[in-house]
Chain A
Amino acid sequence: MKAKQVKIAVAQINPVLGDLTKNLALHKQIVEQARAEGIHLIVFPELSLTGYFVKDLVPSLALSAQSPHLDRLKELSRDISIVVGLVEESADYRFYNSAFLLEGGEVRHLHRKIYLPTYGMFDERRYFASGSRLQATESTCGALGLLICEDLWHPSAPYLLSLEGMDILIGLSSSPGRGLGAEEKLESVKVWESLNYTYANLFSCFVIFANRVGYEDGVHFWGGSEILSPAGTLLAKAKYHQEDLIIAELEKSELRRERATSPLLRDERPGLVLRELNRLMEKRCEVRST
């Protein structure tokens, strides 16, 4: 992290399914407000510009990095860094579930969701192309690692970002609430909160988890967005089931102190991991796909 302190916000919104115009207006309004409050980086959830269960709407909602639809947000990004979720159209007409980092008036970085859940209630692979790159990126707020929802269920994804020097892990999510039992929290809530906590600790990084709220076709999204310190301490927590905006100040010194206390990153052995992966790939044992 360059700055000693950065002020981060998560916009826990309820986008309108399939209405880019309304969602762009909502983003613009929230970003302007955040800018006025001196926020350095604001994070929106997965597919925040389109809604989640987009199905056959995918091509109609897709935007390229050059799309004029994004001009106003790009303009705002001269003063505040913005992470949004959208359907991205590539030059060769593939459609990705992507996250853009807007900064300095341009798309500074983009992440295309790699792991598209296509099981149970999910059908993403039917509609989206899957990304094939994992890269941390330098931003004015530090080295960011962007991942989208299911990406975080594959620990190799944050692991690789961590090796590239990630200070802040950003997870954009549209997590449907499910698994109601006798307990206070849904299964889906418990597991996400434990993932965020675990990643903060394992990779000694800040974690920003931006989840949405609202209902689509009877499915509800549970919110509960959160910002965690590298020690796993909750710095900010959004309400469940309601729109919210949370803010936290991230202190660079926290990263230093945590990494001095638990030098997990220092002790990582990427060379060993690579050798073993190569061995497994050669044997093709238990390695299911590339």
Chain B
Amino acid sequence: MKLDRPDLTINCGLLRKILVGFIENEVRKMGFQRAVIGVSGGVDSALSATLAAQALGSENVWGLIMPYRTSSPESVAHAQLVVKRLKINSALIDITPMIDAYFASFADADHLRRGNKMARERMTILYDHSAVLSALVLGTSNKTELMLGYGTLYGDMASAINPLGDLFKTQVRQLAAYLGVPEEIVRKKPSADLWVGQTDEEELGFTYEEVDQVLMLMIDKRYEISDLVEAGFEERFVRKVFEKVQSSQFKRRLPLIAKVSGRTIDRDFRYPRDWGR
């Protein structure tokens, strides 16, 4: 099968316009003027914060920097660079005391448990500030992460609205570069920074450039695994991607509700979220 490698190039001007309009519209429609974002020092949150500043004005955006004691100093420095460049409000909240207090009772907890706990700790801080600041929590998960399930459910995946959820990682980088996110943030190796030396690509076992091509063809263009293999993608790699997508489906859905009544939420009770707005 002849299958051209997909072009993931995006028109950044047009995309910026759509996403800025999205934030402006969906935030204000819900009766808010402000947004709060967890700024990690990575490219995703830098882009989300940039779009929010353009949509709502810098004075209406809060960037919370929430390191743990093992977080890389470079992450914090990059996060500070982002908030400084955008002139948004910011606060540095060290999550070490909360995390360490909890794991004092579970000293043998592994990387995964600790990482998930940190992601969820940050979520609770963002939502607490959402209430204090009357600000909506803006998401930072991109389409690649969401499709692969590479995120913590109710942790970094939690938000009120997410401007990046339909952009592949490589597209996030394109738009970030276009909007002037510093080169060192756009180009550095992506990392959840949940433990020392962690990088996304090492943990996943492939690069974002590679996986975005497969996801684009498999998800957006609806090609079958067999089509991709025939077109020259390595079968083991393609199957691994598919399995990640399949096994993480639960992360992209609301919790299952056992149906007993005649009208059940999201099954036969179907209203738009923007109902009356």
Contacts and interface: CB of A to CB of B under 8 A. Distances in A.
Interface string B1-21: 000000101110011011001
Contact of B22 (A180, A184, A215): A215
Q: Which of A54, A55, A215, A217 has the most CB of B within 10 A?
A: A215
Interface string B130-143: 00000000000000
Given A215-B22, A218-B26, A17 B11 contact: no
Contacts of B274: 17, 53, 215-217
B264 to A, nearest CB: 12
Contacts of A183: 11
Interface residues of B, number: 23
A59 interface: no
Contacts of A184: 11, 14
Contact of A57 (B10, B17, B275): B275
Contacts of B161: 218
A53 B17 contact: no
Interface residues of A, number: 25
Given A16-B276, A55-B272, A215 B10 contact: no
A25 B111 CA distance: 58
A193 interface: no
B89 to A, nearest CB: 25
Given A17-B275, A57-B275, A215 B25 contact: yes
A182 B9 contact: yes
B117 to A, nearest CB: 30
B26 A215 contact: yes
Given A55-B271, A182-B9, A241 B17 contact: yes
B277 interface: yes
A181 B272 contact: no
A217 to B, nearest CB: 5
A189 to B, nearest CB: 10
28 contacts: A17-B275, A17-B276, A17-B277, A18-B272, A18-B276, A19-B276, A53-B274, A54-B272, A55-B270, A55-B271, A55-B272, A56-B269, A56-B270, A57-B271, A180-B14, A180-B15, A181-B10, A181-B11, A182-B7, A182-B9, A182-B10, A182-B11, A186-B14, A214-B25, A215-B26, A215-B29, A218-B161, A241-B17
Interface of B: 7, 9-11, 14-15, 17-18, 21-22, 25-26, 29, 161, 269-277
Given A53-B272, A180-B18, A215-B29, 5 more contacts: A16-B277, A17-B272, A214-B25, A220-B18, A220-B21
Interface of A: 16-19, 51, 53-57, 177, 180-186, 214-218, 220, 241
